[in-house]
């Protein structure tokens, strides 16, 4: 496999580890970008961008990075907190009165960002096309009763997070959620990142497809078992109601919509650049970044059925977890994985910002072993090992 791009010679082992991904014949295409102290030390890409394997992955290829989008959304919300337009600990219903229904009158923005609000999925079956009806989804979530007493437990909101935070952004910022988030995060940093993709950009979007032959780890198998066997379980409804959520990634209407939990489109460069912007203070001041990366929820996740640890709109490292809970570097690392393998994160101890994207979906629930391997290789290079 021909590896394209640039790497600092000190990071040649990272380049070798990236190339080794393609020893697996399942691997289609991927890209990796690492910045240290704001300087790009690795910017690599390889493979193919289409399902058939005939289209080369290019320098400007972008793809759906799924939940990597969530931290962009959180940063936009926190900027509005800094501007006094949102409050972390005020009731959401202060801005969105309908949201007070069914026992949610005290739910706060902090709880939504930390996945402790209990507004994780809709119990009433929704038609597939409801996915693309913003007002209908917001109305369904506003009417929904929490799955637990808000603030008393936590459970990841894989898709509802986008409507919940996005509706607040829309109400206070006067722009659609994708426009608000991009104007506040990607645009000031010059990043090739989109929430609501223009049709003219479709030609450079990599198609997403699942890898075959791997069932993943115990956490992945546990979650899959519930989703296949328990149609009314929280986990199932959180991921699969509307039922079109899991099957839409390559569809034009999914690319066009602004769903700021899961349909951001970008590349490894844009993920690394975003986290570099957080580390150097261009997106949030020191106090708000500290609040964002402070532990807000930890323990058994009622949606993912494994241990998770959250800040505000970001996952925090679980250093003792040799599996999916660690980013693979320092214990202060924070960021967010996307379904199937993409990952963006920062390690403040090393001033390192990391972005990895792939169009070959793996089965893991949290961090993908491919990204962890690359991050650990970067750590060894920085340590001179």
Say if CB 9 and CB 45 are below 8 A apart: no
Residue 60 counted as domain residue: yes
Residue 95 lies in a domain: no
Closest CA to 194 of 211, 181, 212: 181
Residue 227 lies in a domain: yes
Asked if the structure places residue 112 within a domain, the reply is no
**Predicted local confidence at residue 341, as pLDDT:** 94
Q: Give the chain's domain count.
A: 1
Structure tokens at 72: 């962009």
- Burial classification of residue 217, based on how many CB atoms lie within 10 Å of its CB (0-12 exposed, 13-18 middle, 19 or more buried): middle
The label of the residue with tokens 């988030």 reads 181
Q: Is the pTM of this model over 0.95?
A: yes
| Residue 32: φ, ψ to 5° | -140, 135
Cα-Cα-Cα-Cα dihedral sign, residues 335, 287, 35, 383: negative
Which CATH number belongs to the domain containing residue 280 in this structure? 3.40.710.10
CA distances from 184 to 55, 74, 188, 300, 384 (A): 33, 11, 7, 33, 37
- Give the pLDDT of the chain (385 residues) as one tens digit per residue: 799 999 999 999 999 999 999 999 999 999 999 999 999 999 999 999 999 999 999 999 999 999 999 999 999 999 999 999 999 999 999 999 999 999 999 999 999 999 999 999 999 999 999 999 999 999 999 999 999 999 999 999 999 999 999 999 999 999 999 999 999 999 999 999 999 999 999 999 999 998 887 778 888 889 989 999 999 999 999 999 999 887 899 999 999 999 999 999 999 999 999 999 999 999 999 999 999 999 999 999 999 999 999 999 999 999 887 668 999 999 999 999 999 899 999 999 999 999 999 999 999 999 999 999 999 999 999 998 7
* Residue 35 pLDDT: 98
Question: What Å distances lie between residue 12 and 77, 377, 381, 382, CA to CA?
Answer: 38, 10, 8, 11
Q: Please check whether residue 311 lies inside any domain of the structure.
A: yes
User: What pLDDT, on a 0 to 100 scale, did the predictor assign at position 244?
Assistant: 87
Choose among 174, 164, 156, 5: nearest CA to 67. 156
CA 161 distance to own-chain centroid: 11
Rg (CA), the chain: 19
Distance CA(273)–CA(191), nearest Å, equals 7
Q: Contact 259/161 with Cβ under 8 angstroms? A: no
pLDDT in the model for residue 130: 96
Contact 356, 268 (CB under 8 A): yes
Sign of the torsion formed by the C-alpha atoms of 335, 338, 340 and 343? negative
Task: Tell me, yes or no, whether 48 lies in a domain.
Answer: yes
> SS3 letters for the chain?
CCCEEEECHHHHHHHHHHHHHCCCCCCCEEEEEEEECCEEEEEEEEEECCCCCCCECCCCCEEECHHHHHHHHHHHHHHHHHCCCCCCCCEHHHCCHHHHHHHCCCCEHHHHHCCCCCCCCCCCCCCHHHHHCHHHHHHHHHHCCCCCCCCCCCCCCCCHHHHHHHHHHHHHHCCCHHHHHHHHCHHHHCCCCECCCCHHHHHHECCCEECCCCCCCHHHHHHHHHHHHCCCCHHHHHHHCCCCHHHCCCCHHHHHCCCCCCCCEECHHHHHHHHHHHHCCCCCCHHHHHHHCCCCEEEECCCCCCEEEECCCCEECCCCCCCCCCCCCCCCCEEEECCCCCEEEEEHHHCEEEEEEECEECCCCCCCHHHHHHHHHHHHHHCCC
Q: Is residue 362 part of a domain?
A: yes
Residue 129 covered by a domain? no
Q: Which domain holds residue 227?
A: 3-66+220-235+266-383
Distance CA 33, CA 275 (A): 11
């Amino acid at each position: 496999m021909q590896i394209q791009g640039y790497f600092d010679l000190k990071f040649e082992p990272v380049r070798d580890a990236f190339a080794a991904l393609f020893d697996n014949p399942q691997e289609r295409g991927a890209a990796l970008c690492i910045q240290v102290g704001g300087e790009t030390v690795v910017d690599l890409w390889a493979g193919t961008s289409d399902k058939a394997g005939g289209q080369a992955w290019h320098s400007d290829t972008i793809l759906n990075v799924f939940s990597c989008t969530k931290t962009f959304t959180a940063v936009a919300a926190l900027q509005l907190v800094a501007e006094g337009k949102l409050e972390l600990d005020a009731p959401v219903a202060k801005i969105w009165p309908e949201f007070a229904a069914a026992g949610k009158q005290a739910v706060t923005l902090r709880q939504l960002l930390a996945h402790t609000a209990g507004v994780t999925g809709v119990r009433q079956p929704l038609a597939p096309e409801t996915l693309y009806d913003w007002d209908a989804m917001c109305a369904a979530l506003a009417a929904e009763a929490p799955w637990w007493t808000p603030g008393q437990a936590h459970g990841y909101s894989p898709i509802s997070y986008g409507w919940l935070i996005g509706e607040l952004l829309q109400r206070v910022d006067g722009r659609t959620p994708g426009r608000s988030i991009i104007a506040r995060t990607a645009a000031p940093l010059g990043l090739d990142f989109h929430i609501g993709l223009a049709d003219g950009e479709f030609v450079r979007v990599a198609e997403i497809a699942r890898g075959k032959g791997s069932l993943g780890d115990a956490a992945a198998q546990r979650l899959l078992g519930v989703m296949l066997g328990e149609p009314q379980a929280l986990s199932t409804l959180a991921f699969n109601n509307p039922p079109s959520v899991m099957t839409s990634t390559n569809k034009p209407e999914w690319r066009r919509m602004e769903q700021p939990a899961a349909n951001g489109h970008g590349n490894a460069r844009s993920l690394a650049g975003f986290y570099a912007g957080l580390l150097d203070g261009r997106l949030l001041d020191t106090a708000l970044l500290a609040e964002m990366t402070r532990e807000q929820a930890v323990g058994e996740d009622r949606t993912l059925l494994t241990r998770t640890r959250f800040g505000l709109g970001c996952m925090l490292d679980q250093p003792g977890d040799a599996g999916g809970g660690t980013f693979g570097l320092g214990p202060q690392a924070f960021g967010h994985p996307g379904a199937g393998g993409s990952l963006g994160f920062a390690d403040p101890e090393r001033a390192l910002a990391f972005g990895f994207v792939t169009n070959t979906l793996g089965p893991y629930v949290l961090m993908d072993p491919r990204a962890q391997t690359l991050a650990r290789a970067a750590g060894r290079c920085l340590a001179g090992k």
